[in-house]
Structure 1
C-alpha cells in the first residue's frame, strides 16, 4: 500500500497499531473528511497442536466453519518460516466415518493437516510451529475478462481498490478536493477496533466496506450499497441522504439496505467516542466471509460516488 500510494504522489503514514493514513490536502484545511477501508482479513491462529501432528485452530474474524473446510492455508511461524496445510473436519472421510456428513462444523471439530512429514506434536514443534502463530487462507483470486472478481477477502480489498481509484483520478486530473481528505487503511476491522482511533480533526467519516447480499437485502454485485443502519444503529441521516441524492444525480446504480449482523470502521470510531458524523457505503459483495464475488462495475461505481461526495460536500450539515 505504501509503494502504491507513493506511485500516486502521496505519502502514507503509519499509526502505532499499523493503520495507514494518507492525507490529500484540500482547499479548506479546517474541514477534514475521513474515508476508511480495511486491509486486514479473516484468518486463524494456532490454538494447540494435537498429538497426531495436526493443528487445532481458533478463528480470527467472524466466519462460519463450513466456509473454510477444504481450504488450503499457510502457517506463519514467528521466526519467519511458512508451511502449507489444509483445513479439514476431524471426521475427514465418508468412507471411514458414517456420520461424516452430519458432523457439526465447529471449532472443536476442525483441524489443519500440515503438508510436512509430521506424525506427532513433537514433530510439529520441531518445525518451529507454536501456539499463537498466524494462519492465512489461500484467497484463490480470479479477475475475469467479463468483469467478475471472485476471491476471499474482497471484504475489504474491493473497497481499498475503490479508494485507490479515487486517488488515481485526483492525480490524473490534477484536481484538488474542496476539503482535506484523510484516507485510513485500517488493520483491525475484522476484530472490532480498526478505526477506533481516527485523527481528531476529522468531522465526517465515511466507512467504505462491502455491501452484503441475501435475505431481504436489495444490493447486487454491480451496485453501490448504502447502509442506513447496522448492528450498532443508524448512520448519519444527512450523510446517507446526500449519498442517495448523488447516486440518483450521477446515475450510479445503488441500493439502500439494513445490516443487522454487521459493524464497520465507522462503528468502531463512534463507539470509541469520536465526535463525528458517519456513513457507510461500498461495493455489493456476494457470499460475504466465504468465497466472495463482486463485479468491477461495483468498485468503479463506489469510487465514482465517493468522488461525487468529496468533490461537492454540503456546506453545512442540516439539523
Structure 2
C-alpha cells in the first residue's frame, strides 16, 4: 500500500531540514504546508508543535498518534580564544558520535555558517594524547569555515552564545532498500504518518474515531507530546524508532512494538491489540524492551493524562549516532498504522 518512492523522498526532505529541539519552525512549516495541500485541518500549539485532525464516525472517543520532528543538535556554549566554538548538547547522545561531523551554525539574524566538529587535539602530528584524549565538552570544538583567528573574529560574523548548531544528516538511499542518515529518529516516523494521512484523504477512508496527529517538537528533551491531548482521547500511540543493539529483538526490517522502556510497561491491552492487528494482516513485527528510552507517550502519562498509551516504530540501527533503517521496516510500520487507525478503540 505504501508508495516507497514518495515515502523515501519525504523522509529525505525531512532529515535535510535542520531542526534541533528549540529551533523547529522551518520543519514544522514544511509539514504544515504538506498537510494544508491535502486540505487537512491543522493548528499549532504554543510550544510550536503541529496538530492535524481527521474527523471520524465516533467523535466522543478520540485517538491520537504522535511523531516528533525535533532532532539532536547542539548550542554554542562559548566562543574560545582561538575563535572556535565550544558546544552544549541538545538531547541524549555522546560527543564521540559527532566527532568529525560537518555542521551548520545559525545566528539569531538568520545567517548560517558551516563548520566541522573536531577534537581540539585532532592532529596526531602535534598532540601526543590525540588517540587517548577524552571526547567531552572541553576537548570537542567546532572549526568554523571562515577566516577566524580569535574570539573577536568569530563574534564579528554574528556568531554568539546560544546559536543553534545542526549536524549534517548525510542522507543516502541505497538501491537495496537501506536508508542511511542522521535524524531518522524520528523523521522516518513523521514521513510515515504524513503518507498515511495522504492515503486516508486520497482514498476517502472513513475513520471509526476522530483521530489527531501531533507532530511534536520537543521530544528529544522530554516533553514534546504531553499537552494538547483532547479530553475525548482514549488511545495515544507514539510512533518513534525501535532501538537496536545487544539483547534487543528489534531489527531494521520489521515494525517494533515496545512493551516497556525506562518509564515502565506500555498498556498491555493496546499492546495485545497491535500484535493481533499485525498477525491478522501478515505484518512482520518484533516485541521489544528499550532500557534507556522514553517517548512522547510516556511523557503524556507522566503529565497526568488518563489515556491508554502505546509505542511502535521502525527499527533504527545506531540510534542517536549514524542511523540506518530499511524500507521493509518503514513498510511494516506503515501497514500496522494503516490497520490500526481503521480499528475500534479497545
Same fold (TM over 0.5): yes
Matches within 5 A, 1:1-319: 1-200=31-230, 201-314=232-345, 317=346
Kindly state the Cα deviation for residue 238 of structure 1 after the two structures are TM-superposed. Answer: 0.3
Contact (CA 8 Å) 1:36, 1:185: kept in 2 or not? Answer: yes
Task: Name the SS for the 2:138 alignment partner.
Answer: helix
For 2:126 and 2:288, how far apart are their aligned partners in 1?
45
Comparing 301-310 and 260-269, the one that deviates more: 301-310
Deviates more, 1:195-204 or 1:277-286: 195-204
CA distance in 1, matches of 2:49, 2:234: 19
Alpha-carbon deviations, 1:251-305, whole Å to 9, x = none?
Answer: 1111000011000000111111111110000000001001100111211211110
- Cα deviation, residue 103, structure 1: 1.0
Cα distance, 1:180 vs structure 2? 0.6
> How far 1:43 moved relative to its partner?
0.3
The alpha-carbon deviation at position 172 of structure 1 amounts to: 2.2
Q: 2 CA distance for matches of 1:69 and 1:224? A: 31
Q: Is the 8 A contact 2:45 2:228 kept in 1?
A: no
1:60-84 Cα shifts (integer Å, max 9, x gaps): 0011111100000011000111011
Q: Deviations over 1:130-176 (max 9, x none)?
A: 10110000101112232111100000001011111211221221111
SS of the counterpart of 1:157? helix
Greater Cα offset, 295-304 or 281-290: 295-304
Distance (Å, rounded) in 2 between the aligned partners of 1:103 and 1:251: 50
**What SS does structure 1 have at the residue aligned with 2:134?**
coil
TM-superposed CA distance for 1:217, in Å, is: 0.5
TM-score, reference length from structure 1: 0.97
- What is the TM-score of this pair, normalised by structure 2? 0.89
Q: How far apart, in 2, do the equivalents of 1:77 and 1:29 lie?
A: 45
CA contact (8 A) 1:161 1:299 kept: no
Tell me how far apart the structure 1 counterparts of residues 271 and 123 of structure 2 sit (CA, whole Å). 50
CA distance in 1 between partners of 2:248 and 2:195 (Å):
27
Q: Give 1:198 deviation, angstroms.
A: 2.8
Aligned length: 315
* Structure 1 partner of 2:6: none
Deviation sequence 1:189-212 (CA, Å, 0-9, x none): 000010121322322100000001
Deviates more, 1:90-99 or 1:261-270: 90-99
How far did residue 312 of structure 1 move? 1.3
Shift of 1:9: 2.4
